[in-house]
Structure 1
Amino acid sequence: MKVFKHFVQSPLYWIAVVAVGFGLEGVALFYQHVLNEPPCVLCIQARVWTLVGIIVAGLGLTVRKFFYARILAHLALIGALIGLLNRSWIALLVERGQYDGQCGMDPGFPTWLPLDSWFPNVFEVWTMCGYTPNLIAGLSMGEGLVYGVSVLIVIAVAALVVDILNRK
């Protein structure tokens, strides 16, 4: 526990969050551009939530010496992870045929932030939702994201609690 406390209150925590975020984005782009797996709207929205997490972690790194700002960064990170879990969960439900909602081609970006126009190789929807490709050990990308993000949420909540209890 002492090691985790030290880790959470060091810049390494926020750097690790950024690294995990870039890793997730990298895997998504590898599947899209190397393995030719076209992204659906849920995939794109998951990428946006991952980008939000990266940005929040960058801010957390810069404000880590200020307790209340750091707590806000923890909360914002947890919010981004919950958004990512939501998109991942819906992708899993779609994959299993258990989702009744619509899954179209519009990523839903506001007119003032058209990420799909600015960065089409990263944020443009290429296909309708239906399945997610296999990752490893028989897990689909949807399953892997749900399990992985759930673990990340537990870590982020633990980091918040440790940070609050061990105010520096």
Structure 2
Amino acid sequence: MNNKQNMNSKLKDWLNQPSFGYFIFGIFLFMEGFGLYVQYGLGDEPCANCVMVRAYLLLVALSAVVAIVTSNEGKLSRPVELTRLCVVYFLATAGLGLAFYHSYDNYLIESGRLLFSTCSLSSPFPAWLPLDTLLPALFEANALCGTPAYLFDWLTFTELSLIGLPIVFIGATLLYTNAMWQIFKQ
């Protein structure tokens, strides 16, 4: 077995370990933690789009929980293993994609390119899941959309999200594509 095959085998094995789920959860905690730092550490209150990004990142956390709970250390059949990876990948990329959508919407508002939006000070959550009431420290929108939270003179939090979310998405896609290819090659 050459080095590339050995590396691919180790990657596939790692995707079946609980540590993979913990890695995903670590990424989620970093993204949420940075958002909370901007809110509480730097004093920039979140808008409705911002709290929707936080809510959609919960799908990334859910994908981590699924990855941890269903880790199998190579003991599952190929169809079950593929289904597991697809569910984890779908949850993570759906969360990242929807978070990117709301970040981009907020960017358009901040830059003056979108004059009308559904973003407001009212709760963005449905009545059956009032996250802003259940966890106001995380999900209560206290700012108007379009108010940029500058991290540096040249970079806003929204712009950083538009850079970071696609990087995580591309990394996840490459990782899962490689893993699924290894399963199909068996």
Please, what TM-score do these two structures have when normalized by structure 1?
Answer: 0.89
Q: Please, which moves more after superposition, 111-120 or 69-78?
A: 69-78
Paired-residue identity, %? 21
Q: Which residue among 95, 100, 106 is the counterpart of 2:115?
A: 100
CA distance in 1, matches of 2:155, 2:70: 37
CA distance in 1, matches of 2:70, 2:116: 40
Sort the Cα spacing of 1:34 and 1:50 in 2 relative to 1 into closer, same or farther, 3 A. Answer: same
How far 1:56 sits from its partner (Å)? Answer: 1.7
CA distance in 2, matches of 1:60, 1:81: 16
CA distance in 2, matches of 1:154, 1:44: 23
CA distance in 2, matches of 1:113, 1:72: 23
> 1:84 is matched with which residue?
99
Does 2:179 align with 1:163? yes
Q: Which residue among 125, 136, 139 is the counterpart of 2:155?
A: 139
Q: Please tell me whether the aligned partners of residues 96 and 165 of structure 2 are also in contact (alpha carbons under 8 angstroms).
A: yes
How far 1:136 sits from its partner (Å)? Answer: 4.8
Give 1 or 2 for the bigger CA radius of gyration. 2
CA-based RMSD: 2.0
Structure 2 regions of 5+ residues with no counterpart? 73-79
Q: CA offsets, 1:31-69, max 9 Å, x none?
A: 212222111001100000112211221112211325112
Sort the Cα spacing of 1:97 and 1:21 in 2 relative to 1 into closer, same or farther, 3 A. Answer: same
Please, what TM-score do these two structures have when normalized by structure 2?
Answer: 0.81
Q: Please, which moves more after superposition, 27-36 or 78-87?
A: 27-36
CA distance in 2, matches of 1:13, 1:98: 40
